[in-house]
Amino acid sequence: MANEHARFMNNNFISTITTTGDEAGYPVTNLLDTMRSRYWKPSVDGYFVIETGVNDRFPYTISGSPVHSTLAGGTYTGPELVTMFNGIVGDFDLSYSTATHRFSITHLNGDVETFRGSATTRSVADTIGFNDADIEFNGAVTFEAPQIRNHTYNAIKIDLIKSENPTFLGAIWPINEASGLSENAVVELRANNVDDMDNADLVVSLEVSENGIFNFMDLAQADNDYRYWELRIDDKANFNYYSDFRLSYLYLGDHFAFSTTNIAQGFNMELVDPTKRQESEGGQAYYLLKNKYWKFDALQTQLIQKADRDEFQQLFFNLGIATPFFISIDPSTSLTNKLDDLTKFATIDQSPKFSHVFLEYFNMSFSMREVV
């Protein structure tokens, strides 16, 4: 892949955004707030999908004969799924614990009946955390599901109002924190021109990195012109999902890059630790811990043309030193191993300086500081 010039992402297309469920006090609107300490968390009640013809049967036996109850298709929180199930299935009750993230099945009479986990056709078993083994209920007993089930998936749904062609997705969590997602998490970006993400026209598998989820769509596929977008997260078996996973900011938009030049070699990058240290008279050290952040200086571009200079000056006029945006110094990872190494949510730390060279050409220098 040819080297790509540094990119500046400051034009977020997102205005209308919803989710499959927000935890109280952590609304989805926080994803559009550039203050990184505010964040969105998914609802601990979960989000479960029962799809007609796919996972809408609860298979069991009565007096040794195989039967099944057909569940109502739809989307449910854990408690709502329990209510629907218990209103349809007569011989069994379902319950759900938001503390353990597991479903349990209780047999309601003294007979011997079997939950037929091995009957996988259209079975709800995996949705509620039961594997493909049969379970014999001898009397009024309860079995807890062996598998955690947080959700079928969680989704952040975006309506751009009209078809747009974004080039970059960026999603970050609070600084100096881990993602909260497990190594088995599946994260996808889906898009369509109708509001149907189960049959999305575009599905992009996303890599979860240490510092966020970043993807330059235009480097992978040419046509991204869609109205409806969805960030879908499937981490259904992660016990710590609801306690640890949070998102601070979400960007889906385009970018600006210098047309004929790039950030020159020789820039500086520093991981700053602003922690305060004091010592007692006896030499005991005390620390006031603060968040580490990355700082970049000596960022220089040479011989930028008038159109590029005007674009960057307008960016600085609009954002100043207070409003953060995404910058990717190495979008094609030609200098580093990972996209997130040089892709940061940052502010311009000092006003850019322009030096005239000749005709319409200028050199420019500026510095950046990661947002905490």
User: The pTM is what?
Assistant: 0.91
Res 232 pLDDT > 90: yes
8 A C-beta contact, residue 95 and residue 78: no
- pLDDT above 60: residue 331: yes
- Per-domain residue ranges of the chain: 48-144, 268-370
Q: Is the pLDDT of residue 332 over 90?
A: no
Decide if pLDDT at 47 tops 70.
Answer: yes
> Do the Cβ atoms of 300 and 278 come closer than 8 Å?
no
Q: Which of 63-67, 158-162, 170-174, 345-349 has the lowest mean pLDDT?
A: 63-67
> What's the pLDDT at 42?
96
Task: Tell me the pLDDT tens digit for each residue of 142-195.
Answer: 999 999 999 999 999 999 999 999 999 999 999 989 999 999 999 999 999 999
Note the pLDDT tens digit of each residue in 293-325: 999 999 999 999 999 999 999 999 999 999 999
Average pLDDT over residues 342-360: 93
346: Cα separation from own chain's centroid: 19
The whole-angstrom separation of Cα 160 and Cα 164 is: 7
Q: Which two tokens stand for residue 57?
A: 């049967």
pLDDT in tens, 217-231: 876 666 779 999 999
- Percent of the chain's residues with pLDDT above 70: 98
